[in-house]
């Protein structure tokens, strides 16, 4: 199940990075914060 969490997190991280590239004004810190929140939610759902 751990692999699933890592996969989900990397997929969302890539999506957020792509979004960030197309919206350069989007704050990097907020992106990192969103990834952290998202990964905790994903871990909770999958565990």
Predicted model pTM: 0.40
In the chain, how long is the greatest CA-to-CA distance?
36
- CA separation for the pair 18, 25 (Å, rounded): 13
Q: What tens-digit pLDDT sequence spans the chain (47 residues)?
A: 456 667 777 888 888 788 777 776 656 667 778 878 888 888 888 77
CA atoms within 13 A on the CB side of 9: 19
> Among 39, 40, 34, which Cα is nearest to 19's?
34
């Amino acid at each position: 199940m751990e692999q699933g969490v890592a996969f989900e997190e990397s997929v969302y991280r890539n999506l957020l990075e792509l979004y960030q590239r197309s919206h350069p004004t989007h704050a990097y810190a907020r992106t990192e914060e969103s990834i952290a929140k998202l990964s905790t939610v994903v871990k909770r759902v999958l565990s």
